[in-house]
Amino acid sequence: MKLLLIRHAEPDTEHGPRPDPPLSADGRAQAAALAGWLSGEPLAAVYTSPLLRARETAGFLSGESHTVEGLSEVGGAGEYVAAEVMKRNGDPRYAALVSGDLAVYGTDVATFRAAVVEAVDGIVDRHAGQTVAVVTHAGVINAYLGAHLGIENRLIWSALDYAGVTRVLAHRDGARTISALNEVPHHCGQPAAKGNVPWPVGS
- pLDDT for residue 202 is more than 50: no
Domain ranges of the chain: 2-187
More confident position, 186 or 61: 61
Q: Give yes or no for a contact between 58 and 135, defined as CB atoms under 8 angstroms apart.
A: yes
Average pLDDT over residues 99-106: 86
pLDDT at residue 189, rounded to an integer: 56
Q: CATH for 2-187?
A: 3.40.50.1240
| pLDDT, tens digit (0-9, with 9 covering 90-100), for 138-188 | 999 999 999 999 987 788 888 899 999 999 999 988 899 999 999 987 776
Q: Give yes or no for a contact between 52 and 20, defined as CB atoms under 8 angstroms apart.
A: yes
pTM of the model: 0.90
Q: Give yes or no for a contact between 143 and 113, defined as CB atoms under 8 angstroms apart.
A: yes
